[in-house]
Every structure is written in C-alpha cells, then in structure tokens.
Amino acid sequence: MSELIPEDWFEMNPFALNQADKEIKMRQTLTSLHHHHLQHCEAYSNLFSDASMDSLEDFPYLAVRLFKYLTLQSIPQEQVFKILYSSGTTGQTPAKVILDQDTSRRQSKVLVKVLQDFIGKKRMPMLIIDHPGVLKSKDSYSARGAGIQGLSMFGRQPIYALNEDMSLNIEVVQAFAETHKNQPVLLFGFTFMVWQHFLQSLRKSENALNLNSGILLHSGGWKKLEAQKVSNEEFKRVCRKTLNIEKVHNFYGMAEQVGSIFVECEAGHLHAPIYADVVVRDPQTLKVIDNNNPGLLQVLSIVPGSYPGNSLLTEDLGSVLGVDDCLCGRKGKYFQVLGRLPKTEVRGCSDTQA
C-alpha cells in the first residue's frame, strides 16, 4: 500500500507548490489509487472504468452520500484498523469509513503538517469546547470524538469546557484563562458547540475571558448557525469581544474523505494543501464552472488508500476565489464554502459520474 502513495508527499511544505506543479504530482498518485480501487473494491469497479485522466477534473467521483448506504473498502477484512462513523443528524444513517493502519497514519501526518502551518509547532495548553464523555466509545469512533482526539495532539493538558449536559463549566474555564494569562493557548471545538454552548453561555452569564494570545480552531459546518443568521464575521466578532481572541481559524473537511483538511487563513480564505484539492461543479449539469461562481464542491485527496474516497462530490456549495495568489502567501487554490445544497436539489444516491 505504501508505494501507492510515496512518502515524499509528507516531507514537503503543504502550501509551497504552485497549482500547476501540484496537479501533476496529484494526478500521478490519484491515477495509481484509481487503479488500486478498481482492482480491490467491487462497488468501485462496477461504477468506473480504466480510462486515462488528463487533469484532476477528469477523475471520476463518488457522491459523498454513498458512504451512508454502502461499505466501501479496498482492503481485506483483516487489515481493517478503524471504522469511522460520521456523527450525522439524529435519525439519519451515519456514513461509514473504513481505515487501515497506513491510511490512518497518513491522515495524522497530514493533519500535523497542515495545522502546524497555521498554529506553529509548539504544543500549547488546550481548552476543548466539548465534554469529556464524547470520547467514551472504544471500538468505533464517532467523527466528533475522532476530531477531538486528532486535535488533542496539538495541545497539552487538555481541559474540557463543558459538562455532560453541555452547560458551561465556568469555574474550569476561568481557571484555565487565569493560569495561562498572556500565554499562547489553543482552543478547539465544533463550530456550533463553540457558538451555542461556549460563546453564548459566556455572554449570557456576562463573563468574558482574556485569552489574548489564544488561537481558536473550529470546524463542523455552518448549517445551524446559518439558521440563526450567524456569519463567519459575526462569529469572529463575538470571539474578539468575549474571548479577546484575534486568531480564529475555521476549517472544512469531512469524515468521508480523510486527509482533506482546508484551513481558513489570516485573509479569511480556505486553502487546499498539496494533498487535497477542490473543484466546483454546476449542481445541475455537473460541469466544472469558473472561479468566483458558486457550485457544488468536489473534493480530492491522496490520503485514502483503504477505501475509494479520493474523489468525492459533496453536497456543499462553494466557490474558488483564486489560485496561487492569496495575500497570506500560501500557494494553490483558495475557496469559500457557502453552505449546503438545499435538500430538494440533492440528487439521488446512485448519482455518480458516468
């Protein structure tokens, strides 16, 4: 498996390659992976053929919702190392993602390489905006638990900000802020939890924290916040006011495609690292559309080897904002996510590229 995805991928700076060079390199690895899945995953070989791909946009993609209905794997059962379930909304079928040791190891490496580019290499005291019970399940991992576990590697002495009933543990949070006054600290949580159970609880109780050297990372979708009309700008404004934190980075990713982690830079743009990319398609025709026009996001990643998740069509809308020229200096594509495709427009689960 390892020779499929050469190790030199993980020795490079994740944002140093320009788009043209990155695409050449990604195309080579994605082509090997495509053949690997054709050989080892029956569901995949039933859908796709051995056609050659001249650009990243030519790679066939699976609809992300297929992971709710099918077990997609390209490894023998005895190599299954971990099964990841997406949390999903209550009552919905969770997506199921099969990882072997190699894929899991690459996922961790990529997470480290990408996040260190934004938060530095030093491990900081960490405040997790969740409750400790979320990690309890043993054999199967919820995406929420897995996310917290993954991010915990970047902090030290993790402290949980919430109680089991999602109420704010104000004593613990205030003690954390006091102990680490004027020091770099890392905060992590899922976007909605941070907003609802942390920022709003602090506001309601008229408490503010001074974490002026802190960094807040958050992820997990804006659906619930959109319903409350909370924009990314408003989110950041409340972080400044309530936490005194300037450095707030949203990131976009999904359980179904390990290795795709797109972090918001200092200029407010989500960036594709060298291991992953985005393509925007017209929701009706599925043709690739021009930059700055909104459409359905397709995500590509070289990380999954144990299952055919290298090219997925999401149900999220977004647009590419530019290539190689973001003010922050990172190369490659940068983009924004504009929310979910309205439910009525979601195409059927059998819908994949012909």
Stretch that binds Zn ion, among 220-228, 236-244, 264-272, 310-318 (CB under 5 A): 264-272
State the nearest-atom distance from the C-beta of 329 to Zn ion, in Å: 7
Stretch that binds Zn ion, among 221-229, 261-269, 283-291, 337-345 (CB under 5 A): 261-269
Of 51 and 267, nearer to Zn ion (C-beta) is: 267
| Distance separating alpha carbons of residues 297 and 294, to the nearest angstrom | 9
| Distance separating alpha carbons of residues 110 and 75, to the nearest angstrom | 21
State the nearest-atom distance from the C-beta of 20 to Zn ion, in Å: 18
Three-class secondary structure of residue 319 per DSSP: strand
State the nearest-atom distance from the C-beta of 232 to Zn ion, in Å: 14
Identify the residue among 269, 281, 331, 333 touching Zn ion (CB under 5 A): 269
Stretch that binds Zn ion, among 2-10, 30-38, 226-234, 319-327 (CB under 5 A): 319-327
Provide CB contacts within 8 A for 169, sequence distance 6+: 160, 161, 162, 163
Q: Site mask, Zn ion, residues 228-247, x = CB under 5 A?
A: --------------------
Beta bridge partners of 276: 301
What are 32's two structure tokens? 């090997």
State the nearest-atom distance from the C-beta of 266 to Zn ion, in Å: 7
Strand pairing class (295-301; 311-323)? antiparallel
Edge-first strand order for the sheet with 96-99 is 96-99, 82-85, 140-142
Of 106 and 331, nearer to Zn ion (C-beta) is: 331
State the nearest-atom distance from the C-beta of 265 to Zn ion, in Å: 3
What are 209's two structure tokens? 């924290």
- Is residue 291 within 8 A of residue 333, CB to CB? The reply is no
State the nearest-atom distance from the C-beta of 73 to Zn ion, in Å: 36
CA 331 to chain centre: 19
Identify the residue among 28, 157, 267, 342 touching Zn ion (CB under 5 A): 267
Of 53 and 328, nearer to Zn ion (C-beta) is: 328
Number of residues that bind Zn ion (CB under 5 A): 5
Secondary element (H or E) of residue 314: strand 311-323
Q: Site mask, Zn ion, residues 324-343, x = CB under 5 A?
A: --x-x---------------
- Cα–Cα distances (Å) from 209 to 108, 260, 326, in that order, read 31, 32, 32
State the nearest-atom distance from the C-beta of 340 to Zn ion, in Å: 24
Of 228 and 291, nearer to Zn ion (C-beta) is: 291
Of 133 and 329, nearer to Zn ion (C-beta) is: 329
Stretch that binds Zn ion, among 19-27, 91-99, 184-192, 320-328 (CB under 5 A): 320-328
Of 211 and 265, nearer to Zn ion (C-beta) is: 265
User: Which stretches within the chain are classed as H helix?
Assistant: 19-40, 42-47, 66-69, 101-119, 143-152, 170-179, 191-193, 200-204, 223-227, 232-243
Identify the residue among 159, 261, 263, 265 touching Zn ion (CB under 5 A): 265
State the nearest-atom distance from the C-beta of 328 to Zn ion, in Å: 3
Provide CB contacts within 8 A for 153, sequence distance 6+: 108, 111, 112
Locus of tokens 């905060």: 187
Count CA atoms within 13 Å of residue 169 on its CB side.
19
State the nearest-atom distance from the C-beta of 158 to Zn ion, in Å: 28
Stretch that binds Zn ion, among 12-20, 114-122, 209-217, 258-266 (CB under 5 A): 258-266
Strand pairing class (82-85; 96-99)? antiparallel
Of 336 and 352, nearer to Zn ion (C-beta) is: 336
| Distance separating alpha carbons of residues 187 and 212, to the nearest angstrom | 12
Residue numbers at the binding site for Zn ion (CB under 5 A): 265, 267, 269, 326, 328
